[in-house]
Every structure is written in structure tokens, then in C-alpha cells.
Structure 1
Amino acid sequence: MRRRTFLKTALKATAVTAAGTAAFAALSRKPVQAAPGTAVPSTSFPDDFLWGVSTSSYQIEGAVAEDGRAPSVWDTFSHSYGRIANGDTGDVACDHYHRYAEDVDLMARAGMKAYRFSIAWPRVMPQGTGAVNAKGLDFYDRLTDTLLAKGIQPWPCLFHWDLPQALQDRGGWTNRDIAGWFTDYALAVTARLGDRAKHWVMLNEPSVVAIFGHGTGGHAPGLTGRETCLKAIHHQNLAQGTALAALRKAGGRNWQLGTVLSLQPSWPVGGLDSNYPASLMWDAVWNRSCLDPLFKGRFPELLEADFARIAKPDDLARINQPVDFLGVNYYSRMHQQPDLQGLFGTGYGSAPEGTRKTGMDWPVEPDGLSEILAELQEKYGNPPVYVTENGADYPDSIGPSGRVEDRDRIAYLRDHLLAAAKSIDEGCNLKGYMAWTLLDNFEWSEGYRRHFGLVQVDRKTMARTPKASYDWYASVIRNNAVPLA
């Protein structure tokens, strides 16, 4: 079915609500019992399905000036007046640097088998290039060993937004030399941890880094402009491809190499023909600008002329590297309409009437995840996929037990997991799911006022208290199945 026809047809559907859970249940073809003696039906997953959780270094580690770590662009940005809600910073975050063993215990108690964390580039290479800081790598050594001792696979991500400020001072992602800088850093980290860590993620959400950090200015390093945004996208793609080739040579067949993209279907607001070109353009920027060079060795058609001004003749060949897996971060669709003031002439509009919203006012659209997985199956060769982020912010509601009873988050996770199970039934090569996120953390420009965690963190004492969603997710992992209600 042509994309335009699909979009116009799909937009006529009723938004997923509480009643939509039953619709997902009806679409699933694998009903089982959640546990012996219960009457709650559930949907099962393949026996080898991998369950885990994801975090990122700047959002949880803290210890920003300890053991030789130098500032990142997010240290600079968060200490700039008015950039972050309530003036929050990641200086302490969740103090994971000192409390990692406790956090690994939380993962193990829930039965998680994978942990996608990120390496802080300025902790390992304070100047971004040159000398490696042994104390910085020592932390990730300890973390890796602790994970393995608990039966949890380490999935290190080499870059999750905290670029060394020293490299930003040299142009950062707008300087094509960063492809070599990133590769040298990747080789240094994998040389230390690669005897134990076997799954390596290159980048997290390069299009988001480019759009918000280099296009609209709402994220670090706070740059703006269409050309700057496109350079950041292209140079991240180039760095990723260069590192993939180098690591493939260094690690042989011992490592599984991949990357993580934020993939969000782009729909025209209201299904209107007049909004359709805007949805296509935003789809090209957000999704295709990273997908197409990696998997197809070409730029998306709508941006081909733009990237041609930036790229050198052999760049696409360097970017178009094989990957062993693709990580997909999914939260909602993007509803687009023309906006002359927008970075690419587009802007966000309303989701269909009746669509549920999270605490951040993001639409709750689990079927958008199925849409993304189906497109990877049909248009990109059905690569092995792991959902590496999926979760929601909701206000904390303390129940009689004294802990957070986050029923909205449970409903969000359940509906998305049911959508994932449906996609597996339909032939999508989905291999695992990692919830976002373990702890209530530093949520970028939103500071600490947003809560995505399965575990509450007391901002004064750093005490960890599992929420109802933590126990619910642990039950899903234990049963390898999602209850339908």
C-alpha cells in the first residue's frame, strides 16, 4: 500500500484508549495464562526474547568532576541560565557513579537480562582525543563486571549526547574530523571492555541530537539553523560508519555491532492533503536522514540536494555499513503541518481527537510502534531489532503503601508491548525490549520535573523506591508474557 493511502486510511481509525487494549488483545494470536491458577489471559513472547532497561550517562551518573572527568556540552548547557527547568543540572543526577551496584541489584531483582547504558566520552577521554583516562574506564570496568556477575548482558552505547566540551570547542558534530575522533574513542573503549561486553551501540538518536541540539537550540550545545542541523546529522552518520568498519576489523566476529535511532511515524495533522507534504518532509529529516544512508547507501530524496552540499563523494560508502542489530527508540507519532517558521517548513500539530496523552503531553499511540516495525520489515530488509527505549512520564501518585502507584505507566507499557507482540506475530524481526528507564533521572531540558523511571529517586537522599510499574515489569519478564488487563 502506498504511504499516502496508508496514512489517509489510518488516520480515520479511532485513537488507542483504554478500550484499545482489548483491540490489541484481539489482534494477538498467542494467548496464554499469565501464571498457574489465574484467569488473566496474556500474550507470550519468544523463548529467547531479551528483556532489559536503558539509561544514559549524563542523566544518571553524576560525579561530573570526579576521577578526571572533564565537562561535556550538557554540563555547559545546564549551567547556562534559563536553559533547564528549575535551573537543574546533572551534577549529581542519580549518583549512579557511586550507587551502580545498588542499581544493578534492582535490575537483577526484576529479572532483567540486558542493560543498555552509555559511556561518558568526557570521562574516558577528557579532551575528546588523545590521552585515555584510566580512572574513567575503571568505572565502566566495575559496572561491566557487576552486571555479568548478576547474569545481565552489558550493552554499552558509545555516545548518548554528552559530547566533550573540548570537542565542541573544535566544532563538535559540525566538524567532519569528528568521524576520526569518535572512531579513536570507540577503539579505546572497546579495547578495554570488549573482552566482556559483546553488544556495542554506536550512537543514540543522532537525528534528535542534530534537530534539537543543532537546529532549534533547545538541547546542548544550543546551536540553531538548517545547515548546522544537517551537518550534525551527516557527521554523526559518518562517524558511525567509520567506527563500525574499524570495530568490525578489530573485534572480528566476537561483537554484535549496531546503533540506536529514534523512529517516529510522521502523519499529516487531521489527515489533510494540505498537511501531507509537511509530514513527508519531517519524516525525511527525523527518520530517513539516518535510516536511508545506513541501510540503503543513499540520502532521502527530499534532502538529497541539501546533503550533497555537505558530503564528499565516498561518504555514503563509508556510512553504508552492515549492522548486527538496530535499536529503535519509540514514544509516539509526530503529527505535522506546514509552519513557515519551522526549521524545515514544518511544525507539530494535534494528534487525533481522543488520543490519550502522557504527562509531557505526548500522544499515546502504541500502534505507531507496529507501524515502524512493519516498515523496517518491508523496506529495510527486516533487520534484527531491539526496542531500546519506550516509556512515559506521568506525575507520581503515592498510594496507601507509600510508594508510587503508576497505573498510567503500566497501561502505557502494556499497550506498547502488546503492539510489539503483534508485530512479532506478523513477521517483524523483533528480538528484545528495554524499557525507558530504570530511575527517575535528569530529563534533559525538563530537569527533574519529569518522571520516566520504574524506580523513584528521592532527590535529597538518593534513596531508590520501586514503583508499581517496576513490579509489573518484573512479572512480565518472569512470565515472558504481557497480561491483557
Structure 2
Amino acid sequence: MPLQIPPDFLWGAATSAFQIEGSLDVDGRGESVWDAFARRPGAIEGGADGSRACDSYRRWREDLALLTELGLGAYRFSVAWSRIMPEGTGRVEQRGLDHYERFVDGLLERGIVPVLTLNHWDMPQALMASGGWAGRESVAAFGEYTQEVAERLADRVEWWITQNEPWIIALLGYRLGLHAPGVTDLRASAAAGHHVLLGHGAGADVLRSFPGTRVGAALNLLPCVPATDSAADAEAAVGSDGYCNRWYLDPLLREGYPEDMHRHWERAIGGPLDFIHDGDEAAISGRSDFLGVNYYTRRVMVAAKPGPGRPFPWQVVSPGGDVARTDDGSEIAPQAFEDLLLRIHHEYPGTPVIVTENGGAFGETPTHDGRVHDTRRIAQLRDHVSAMSRAIEAGADVRGYTYWSLMDNLEWAMGYRPRYGLTYIDYPTGCRTIKDSGHYYAELVRTGQLPPPPTVEPFG
């Protein structure tokens, strides 16, 4: 099946520094919020931490070889802030910059386009002294960090992502405490989300002083649909969309926060959003050359009264019926992906998109033949690439697709149990085995067509 994909499309895969690198005490790296969070009993499933992960800080040449073997033309990776500025501001660790410079050069030597993320959740722990992202000092610190990385790499890196998933930082990091830094404060959550966006603006202003750079933020967007035909559930879906989507899309791609969600936030925290200063929205808007879209699933919504643990008048419910799901229970909904890309095309016209994450947890492991027959991931990949192709044919300006993830890795608070990779990682040895899905994706990239699903021969 031919795909409706532009000829200069970026086909790639994605990772993040803390999830794959390991080597937490090497080359002057400072402590990140995730290092501190991992020491809390029960914070990460199985007591896991990032001390080894995929050992990619040492085995980065093997990662480059994986990308080459898969024939990928782009790689989304992140720079670890705490490797560059161990105290968050001030002192710069040149050994960290040297490492990423070698890595970028290695990508370019292989004809692979670097897509560099500056903050993939691993803020230096030292910045928690001023509140982390809940404190306004974080914005200037992020700008300073961006300057140091750009001075070293902006002559070779075109595509830059300032922030990864501001909503998740705010929700899981500062409201629910399920991610680092483990804060449980609703107002701090709202402030953190705002300061992450301000950090995008500050970083974009730095990067735009370097010729040839393109700057965007990566948002995890969740199409919100009502569970029933009732007016109340429809209103709940609109509110939820404001909370997790429009609250970030509008200031980045329009001129400020949506008024309906502004009112919801003021009711929820019981007062004005006084952390939003005059001029802040102007410092965020107009600073996105593209939008990174992380898409995994949708949200099915019902109306609900606010109460303990529920500050807004809506609630997520499980979709009814016999729907396909990943191992973590997420609904596999490729049609919602197509609808999302077309929504961006229509509601935020002129915004190029890179699909910076798309994937799912599927736990297949090597079988008797040494291969990983992850047919469910192949189906997920095939259906979502088909949906993206249809959206492009209908007018969506999608410039690239970086599958999450190049390899199995530390999936944050879920530890090492979920496996999202095109490559299987044997964590005790670090051995890398490309899964059937990786070979399928390589054929897709090579031919520009959807190959038929592979046939797995039964054992015996």
C-alpha cells in the first residue's frame, strides 16, 4: 500500500537521555530530579533507577549502528541538562558538551538528521531550591542552558525541541506527584505548566539568534471525546480538551491561554493565576516554527462533580466495547490520531508538525529462534502510519515521524517492565536485538509503502 508521504519526510525513532543513558556519575554530571525521585521508596516500580538503563552513554556507537541498520533518516534524542550545567545554572561541564558533540557528528556522518530535545523532564535537582518549574527562576536557568548547548551544536542541528510534554510535567510531576520531582500541589502544578511554556519562549529566543535553526515544543495531545451523547458529557470533553490540549496549544500557536480554561483554573485553585505576569503570553506566542506531536491514545470523558482529587468537573472513563489495547491498558485508537492531525491543520493553520512520539507497550520477548515476534506493535505501527498518511493526503502538513522508541528503556515511574522499543534490550547484558517491528519499519522506510505483516512460523 503506497503512502502519501512527502519526499523529504523525516522517518526516525526517539529516545530521551535519562531513559537510556545510565552513567549517572560520569563526566561531572550533576544530580537530576529523577535521581532524587528514584531514591524514594516505591516511587519507581521494582525499585528501578537510571544508573544503567540501556548504557547508551557508553554504548552510543551501538545506537548509531542500530539507526543505520534500520535505515532511519532522523533521530530524536535529548541532551541531559544536568550533564551540561550540573547545578542548573552557572558552571558549564565541557565533558558533557563534548559527548553530545561527538554523538551529533556521528549522526551527521551517517546521514541521519538530529532532532534535539533540550528538556525531556530531567531538570537538575539543584533548581528545586527555588521550586523547580513551579518557581519563575527556572525560566532564566533554561535560557542559560539553551545558550550553552546552542553555542556548541546549533551550527549542525537544525531541528530543536525546547520542552517535552509540559502537561505531563505539570500533572504528574507537580499535581499528582507520580513523576519527579514528586510534588502534590495544584497551584504549583499550574505555575509549573506556565513556566515550562515561558521556558520554551526563552529558549526559542536564544535559538533564533543562530541561523538555520527551527524551534518547537513537543506536546502530548489527547483527543477528548464524550462517553455519551449527553450535553453534560460533551461539555466535559470540551473542558478536558482545554485542560490537556488547548491550554498549551493556544499560547504556543495563538496569542494566549483559552478563556474558558482560565476560569476553570481560577475556580480550582480558589484565586487568580497571579504567576502569569503581564507580557508572559506575548513571550510564549509566535515562537514555534513547528509543533511536536506525541500521540498515544484518546480520552473518553464524562461529567463529574469536583471533589477530593478531582478539581475539575470531568472524569476519564474506560472506553466501552471490545477495543484493542496495549499492555498498559491504553486504547489503540489510530482514527483519533488522524482526526488530531487534521484538527491541527484546520484550527492552527500554517503549523508544520513532526510526530515526535507514537508507540505502545507490547511485552513480547525473544523466542526459540532468538527473534522478537512483536506482531501487535507491527499492527499498531501500520495502523498509525496509515492514519498519518490519510491526514497528509487531506492537507495536514506533517514533516516527520519519530517512533517511540528506538529501544526498550526505563519508562519513568513504571520502571523497566513496559517495553516500547523497536529494539529489544536485555538489561543485564545491554545486548540489543532488533524486533520484527524494527525490521518491518525499516522496510516501510526503505520502500515508502506499508509492507504486509510478516508471517511467524509456529514452533515445532
Classify the TM-score, shorter chain: over 0.9
CA contact (8 A) 1:233 1:289 kept: no
SS at match of 1:238: helix
How far apart, CA to CA, are the structure 2 residues paired with 1:419 and 1:377? 14
Q: Does 1:483 align with 2:451?
A: yes
Aligned pairs for 1:117-266 (under 5 A) are: 117-248=77-208, 250-252=209-211, 254-266=212-224
CA distance in 2, matches of 1:348, 1:154: 36
2:11 is matched with: 51
Q: Percent identity?
A: 39
| Structure 1 residues 349 and 67: CA distance shift in structure 2, 3 A | same
Structure 2 counterpart of 1:311, from 270, 276, 298? 276
CA-to-aligned-CA distance 1:280-302 (integer Å, 9 cap, x gap): 22211111111111111121222
The 1:261–1:132 alpha-carbon spacing in structure 2 relative to 1, beyond 3 Å, is same
| Runs of at least 5 residues in structure 1 that lack an aligned partner in the other structure | 1-40
Letter of the aligned partner of 1:258 in structure 2? G
The alignment partner of 2:58 has SS state of helix
Q: 2-side partners of 1:391 and 1:478: how far apart? A: 20
Shift of 1:397: 4.2
Match of 2:411 in 1: 443
Q: Which runs of 5+ in 2 are unaligned?
A: 267-271, 454-460
Alpha-carbon distance in structure 2 between the residues aligned to 1:427 and 1:484: 26
- Structure 1 322/382 Cα, relative in aligned 2: closer, same or farther at 3 Å? same
Aligned partner of 1:283 among 225, 231, 241:
241
CA contact (8 A) 1:216 1:343 kept: no
Give the 3-state SS of the residue equivalent to 1:66 in structure 2.
coil
Give the TM-score taking structure 2 as reference length: 0.93
Q: How many residues align?
A: 443
* Aligned equivalent of 1:415, options 383, 387, 396: 383
- Counterpart residue identity of residue 268, structure 1: P
Which deviates the most, 304-313 or 190-199?
Answer: 304-313
**Deviation of residue 318 (structure 1)?**
0.4
Q: How many angstroms apart in 1 are the aligned matches of 2:236 and 2:184? A: 20
RMSD across aligned positions (CA)? 1.4
Match of 1:82 in 2: 42
CA displacement at 1:49 relative to structure 2: 1.4
Shift of 1:223: 1.0
Rounded to whole Å, the distance in 2 between the matches of 1:97 and 1:343 is: 41
Contact map agreement 1:358 1:394 (CA 8 A) in 2? yes
Question: How many Å separate the matches in 1 of 2:404 and 2:202?
Answer: 28
SS class of match (1:482): coil
Q: Secondary structure at the match of 2:424?
A: strand
1:320 to 278, 282, 285: 285
Contact 2:4–2:393 (CA<8 Å) still a contact in 1?
no
Alignment partners' CA distance in 2, 1:85 and 1:322: 38
Which residue identity lines up with residue 357 of structure 2 in the other structure? E
Could you tell me whether the CA contact under 8 Å between 2:254 and 2:286 is conserved in 1?
Answer: no
Deviations 1:415-463 (A, max 9, x none): 0000000000100001111000011100011000000001011111100
Partner SS, residue 280 of structure 1: helix
Greater relative contact order, per chain length (Cα 8 Å cut-off, separation 6+): 1
Helix, strand or coil: the match of 1:97?
A: coil
User: Contact 1:44–1:482 at 8 Å: present in 2 too?
Assistant: no
Measured in 2, the distance between the counterparts of 1:347 and 1:208 equals 17
Q: What letter is aligned with 1:429?
A: D
Distance 1:407 1:271 in 2: 35
